[in-house]
Amino acid sequence: MPGLIEFRNATYRIGERTILDKLTLSVAAEETLVLLGRSGSGKTTALRLVNGMILPTGGELLVDGKATANSDLIALRRSIGYVIQESGLFPHFTVEQNVGLVPQLESWAPERIAARVREMLQKVSLPPDEFAQRFPRQLSGGQRQRVGVARALAADPKVLLFDEPFGALDPVTRLDLQREFLRLRAELGKTSVFVTHDVREAIKLGTRIALLDAGQLRFIGAPAEFLACREPEARAFLEVFEDAQ
Ligand X SMILES: Nc1ncnc2c1ncn2[C@@H]1O[C@H](COP(=O)(O)OP(=O)(O)OP(=O)(O)O)[C@@H](O)[C@H]1O
* Residue choice 11, 33, 34, 41 for contact with ligand X (CB under 6 A): 41
Angle among Cα 46, 47, 49 to the nearest 5 degrees reads 65
* Residue choice 2, 40, 58, 127 for contact with ligand X (CB under 6 A): 40
Contact 193, 216 (CB under 8 A): no
Buried b (16+ CB within 10 A) or exposed e, 69-96: eebeeeebbbbbbbbbbebbbeeeebbb
Site string for Mg ion, 36-75 (x = CB under 5 A): --------x-------------------------------
Query: Looking at beta carbons only, is 33 or 117 nearer to Mg ion?
Result: 33
Please give the residues from 182 up to 221 whose contact with ligand X meets the rule CB under 6 A: 197
* Residue choice 11, 44, 87, 143 for contact with ligand X (CB under 6 A): 44
Q: 123 contacts which partner out of Mg ion, ligand X, none, CB within 5 to 8 A by kind?
A: none
Query: Looking at beta carbons only, is 44 or 178 nearer to Mg ion?
Result: 44
- Type and span of the H or E element at 95: helix 95-99
Contact between 57 and ligand X by CB under 6 A: the answer reads no
Contact between 127 and ligand X by CB under 6 A: the answer reads no
Main-chain dihedrals φ then ψ at residue 118, nearest 5 degrees? -60, -45
Query: Looking at beta carbons only, is 43 or 190 nearer to ligand X?
Result: 43
Q: Where are the beta strands (DSSP E) in 16-158?
A: 17-27, 32-37, 58-63, 66-67, 80-84
* Residue choice 4, 34, 43, 238 for contact with ligand X (CB under 6 A): 43
- Type and span of the H or E element at 179: helix 171-188
CB proximity list for 127: less than 8 A, separation 6 or greater: 121
- Positions that interact with ligand X (CB under 6 A): 14, 19, 37, 39-45, 197
